[in-house]
């Protein structure tokens, strides 16, 4: 099961989360749950095989709510080892800190021993969308990101 956790103030990151979920669900054999960060427990993290975390870009970093969940996850340190991880973000424009936001989330995943899904073609560190995913190209980027993570999760946990 892939868990998608997100924080969203304007709704942009929430829209991305649901499009990523469409991609995950399109892979046979993989279930998906989407949860707001404030509704996510440590048990949710423990029960997932793959965890995708999405945050708006705030000053080049993840939101305070995402950071709080990751800070709380110290209580389960070592128990996420070997799970699949990936990150996505929405930002207000290009060169506004999206990559550093992704890396801040990925750093926490690596400290937990998670296997992070990258992309050798484009969007190497994860998915970054400027504003809301309005164009068909952006929507397909979201779905393909979800499919990539789902396929890796299936490879590891079948």
d(CA 134, CA 98): 18
Residues 70, 104 contacting (CB under 8 angstroms): no
Instruction: Give the max Cα distance, the chain.
Output: 40
- Going residue by residue through the chain, which has 158 residues, state the pLDDT in tens, using 9 for 90 and above: 999 999 999 999 999 999 999 999 999 999 999 999 999 999 999 999 999 999 999 999 999 999 999 999 999 999 999 999 999 999 998 889 999 999 999 999 999 999 999 999 988 999 999 999 999 999 999 999 999 999 999 999 98
**pTM as predicted:** 0.97
The token pair that represents 132 in the structure block: 């809301």
Question: 40, 53, 31, 44: which is closest to 116 by C-alpha?
Answer: 53
Domain segments of the chain as ranges: 2-157
SS (H, E, C) 85-126: EEEEEEECCCCCCHHHHHHHHHHHHHHCCCEECCCCCCCCCC
d(CA 46, CA 40): 11
**Domain 2-157, CATH among 3.40.718.10, 3.40.50.360, 3.40.50.720, 3.40.50.1100:** 3.40.50.360
d(CA 148, CA 143): 9
CA-atom Rg of the chain in angstroms: 14
Q: What percent of the chain has pLDDT over 90?
A: 96
């Amino acid at each position: 099961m892939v868990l998608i956790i997100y924080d969203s103030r304007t709704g942009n990151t929430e829209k991305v989360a649901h499009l990523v979920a469409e991609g995950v669900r399109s892979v046979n054999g993989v279930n998906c749950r989407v949860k707001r960060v404030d509704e996510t427990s440590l048990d949710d993290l423990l029960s997932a095989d793959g965890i995708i975390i999405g945050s708006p870009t705030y000053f080049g970093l993840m939101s305070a709510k995402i950071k709080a969940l990751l800070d709380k996850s110290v209580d389960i340190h070592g128990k996420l080892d070997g799970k699949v991880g990936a990150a996505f973000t929405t930002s207000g424009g290009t060169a506004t800190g999206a990559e550093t936001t992704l890396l801040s989330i990925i750093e926490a995943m690596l400290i937990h021993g998670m296997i992070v899904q990258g992309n050798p073609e484009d969007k190497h560190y994860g998915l970054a969308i400027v504003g809301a995913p309005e164009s068909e190209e952006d929507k397909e980027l979201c779905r393909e990101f979800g499919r990539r993570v789902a396929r890796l999760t299936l490879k590891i946990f079948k």
